Homo-oligomer: A and B are copies of this chain.
């Protein structure tokens, strides 16, 4: 039986594995459905990390996109906003540097839990057993195609290999947060007319939390591109329904009589489903069933030994969907597992200093005064 299985070799999976490896966890495997960083490689070619990388390491705050102490995408790639493909290269370099025990091309078909042991049925019917299970699978490969009636007719932004491949001169984008505006900017740069529809108008909000309003990177790109007059931002447009009539797509808005007509499939930029479907029964869920309930060690409140790591981690209004946020919980999970395995956890204080270990969340998610 293994001590730890980590599911997923993206930013979260590689990050938590590196710290556990450093802590001396030996009987560990990382299971990856495809390859290290595959989800990042599948990003649209033009898409970049919106948080900027800078070599701030060793002064108390690692590169914001770093997922391992003593590493920095700014240093490794010399890029401030790496593309998905570049970031995948960074992840791969970490795996090689740490010689992490990753098993690629391994799908998990079933997870069961009984008396302190997790059994995972994997590709080829094999079974693996582990004491601790860390779920670090991302959402990128699970686009949510059931947002409103007819959303399955749309083109999900995560399915676009390059915006150059998208045919047509005029596009409707549904969703005006980061990925929607990213699509709008790239399509406009290609000379296309773009309409962005959103139930609210996130492009006008200003909050401290990038999980709630647009980043400076995107605000500036948008502002610059708006000058060309090809991007139309249309707020208060919650989608009622999308349908197809002949070659055209009809987009109906709640509470509005005007129907938008599009010659190209509307682009869906409203996000992803949870990657937790396979193990949803091992968690309790919040009232709206939108996030899994975790204790203060980011462990399932229902199943001891099951930890969640990555952008799906949430504690009430604290949304950890950015690398610089969720990596702060690596130390918390590593500490919990380290203590139960009776390992020396003293090195975690170094991780605390570099931004990988924040256990006191009382100051989080506040708003800037200026």
Binding site for B on A (CB under 8 A): 51-61, 64, 68, 70-72, 74-76, 78-80, 90, 93-94, 97, 206-210, 215-217, 219-220, 324-325, 328, 350, 353-355, 358, 360, 363-366, 368-370
Contacts and interface: CB of A to CB of B under 8 A. Distances in A.
Nearest to A354: B363
A17 to B, nearest CB: 15
Given A59-B358, A61-B355, A324-B61, A70 B368 contact: yes
A56 B209 CA distance: 8
A71 B355 CA distance: 19
B54 A97 contact: no
Contact of A59 (B70, B90, B328, B369): B328
8 contacts: A53-B216, A54-B217, A56-B324, A57-B208, A59-B324, A76-B370, A93-B370, A350-B363
B60 A358 contact: yes
Contact of A58 (B76, B220, B363): B363
A80 B57 contact: no
Contact of A57 (B56, B217, B220, B368): B368
A56 B60 contact: no
Given A60-B328, A78-B219, A368 B208 contact: no
Contact of A366 (B58, B355, B360): B58
A207 B30 CA distance: 31
Nearest to A66: B368
A68 B369 CA distance: 10
A177 to B, nearest CB: 15
The listed residue with most B CB atoms (<10 A of its CB), out of A70, A79, A80, is A80
Contacts of A206: 75, 78
Contact of A78 (B56, B94, B216, B364): B216
The listed residue with most B CB atoms (<10 A of its CB), out of A64, A75, A370, is A370
